[in-house]
Amino acid sequence: MANGNGSNGNRNGGLKLGARAKEMGGKVGNSQVVTSIIRPGSIFRKGYTDSPRNRSYVIMNSVLYHLHPVKVKRHAVKVSYTLCLGGLSFFLFILLTVTGIFLMFFYRPTEAAAWSNVQQLETAVWFGSLVRNMHRWGAHLMVLTVFLHMSRVFYHGAYKAPREFNWVIGVVLLLLTLMLSFTGYLLPWDQLALWAVTVGTNMMGYTPVFGSQMRYALLGSKEISGDTLLRWYTLHVLLLPFVIVIFMAIHFWRVRKDGGISGPL
């Protein structure tokens, strides 16, 4: 507060104000509204003290309990074991969701509009360029972190019993990550997008027996067109994220059910 220690201000008034603010804070902190939202043991609750019991409550009494147990193995906390790679992949997914929703406000998946929408986003939208850059670099980075995470898991032999099935789910996650990245690649509808996707999808046409049908189903037409754009847009913003979230949920759940992080070596 400005009058708290102003040179010619009313010192007394300042003190009173401070005391009153404190009292107000206490009232708010203990009000039914606040206590109904913030559960016992939360670090945001008034009078939180650092005790083993409260440390347990922070997890047990919050939504975090869906992700973490109350206690974890000591070695699992060391950054040098997991290198945070799985967690960072997940965090990048969250960042990509947030920035992606922002991009959706300015983008139409049509042949006529897509490219100019992206260009307008770059030039005429506040933070448009920054958010687009974050989305694109984040996507490349996620492919990298997921891949490195897989390598980390392999080198630790963390796919061995009882974690075999979580590895299989992991491979599905890797595939889904690649598909998310690849479907997003088409959306700017520039020369880079069109031809990268052409090269990529041409390969699928060589699938034996039903190659051309598969390619048709994927493109929504004989060659890449506006139909492909709409199809890949829907895959990119809705279907694939939906599916990957389900697989991530199973993945994280299995990490816990399989006895937490593997190791120590």
Partner 1 sequence: MAEVPEHLLKRSAERRKALGLPGGEGADDASAEAAAEAPTPAAEEAAPIAASVSDEGAITEDKGGVPAHLLERARKRKAVLAGEDPGATAGGGGVATATKVAPIAAPVGTGPGGHTQRLLTVVKSGSIQQTRAEAQDKVHTWPHLLVVEFAAALAMTATLLIFSAIVRAPLLGLADVNQTPNPSKAPWYFLGLQELLTMFHPMVAGVTIPGMGLFILMMAPYVDSNPSNKPNDRKFAISLFTLFLMFWSVLVIIGSFFRGAGFNFVFPWNDGIFFEL
**Positions 188 through 227 that interact with partner 1 (CB under 8 A):** 188-196, 198-200, 202-204, 206-208, 211, 223-224
CB of 177 to ligand HEM, least distance (A): 5
C-alpha distance across the termini of the chain, in Å:
56
- Span of 35-43, 158-166, 189-197, 217-225 interacting with ligand HEM by CB under 6 A: 158-166
CB of 171 to ligand HEM, least distance (A): 4
Chain-centroid distance, C-alpha 71: 24
CB of 79 to ligand HEM, least distance (A): 10
CA nearest neighbour of 263 among 174, 166, 171, 163: 163
What's the CA gap between 251 and 130, in Å, rounded? 32
Q: Which amino acid is at 41?
A: G
Of positions 28, 37, 168, 238, contacts partner 1 by CB under 8 A = 168
- Span of 9-17, 31-39, 42-50, 145-153 interacting with ligand HEM by CB under 6 A: 145-153
Residue 241 binds ligand HEM, judged by CB under 6 A: no
Residues numbered 17 to 56 that lie near partner 1 (CB under 8 A) are: 43, 52, 55-56
CB of 11 to partner 1, least distance (A): 39
What's the CA gap between 185 and 189, in Å, rounded? 8
Residue 163 binds ligand HEM, judged by CB under 6 A: yes
Residues numbered 68 to 127 that lie near ligand HEM (CB under 6 A) are: 82, 85-87, 89-90
Instruction: From the list ligand HEM, partner 1, none, pick the one residue 160 interacts with, judged by a Cβ distance below 5 to 8 Å according to partner type.
Output: partner 1
Contact assessment for residue 36 and residue 223, using Cβ atoms and an 8 Å cutoff = no
* Residue 164 CB neighbour total at 10 angstroms: 10
Residue 156 binds ligand HEM, judged by CB under 6 A: yes
Buried b (16+ CB within 10 A) or exposed e, 36-49: eebeebbeebeeee
Residue given tokens 């990268």 in the structure block: 196
**What are all long-range contacts of 136-140, with beta carbons under 8 Å and residues at least 24 apart?**
138/92, 138/95, 138/96, 138/99, 139/96, 139/180, 139/181, 139/184, 140/181
What's the CA gap between 219 and 171, in Å, rounded? 25
The residue count for binding partner 1 (CB under 8 A) is 82
Residue given tokens 């945001």 in the structure block: 44
Residue 63 binds partner 1, judged by CB under 8 A: no
Residues numbered 128 to 147 that lie near partner 1 (CB under 8 A) are: 129-130, 132-134, 136-138, 140-141, 143
Residues that bind ligand HEM (CB under 6 A): 82, 85-87, 89-90, 146, 149-150, 153, 156, 158-159, 163, 166-167, 170-171, 173-174, 177, 248, 251, 255, 261-262
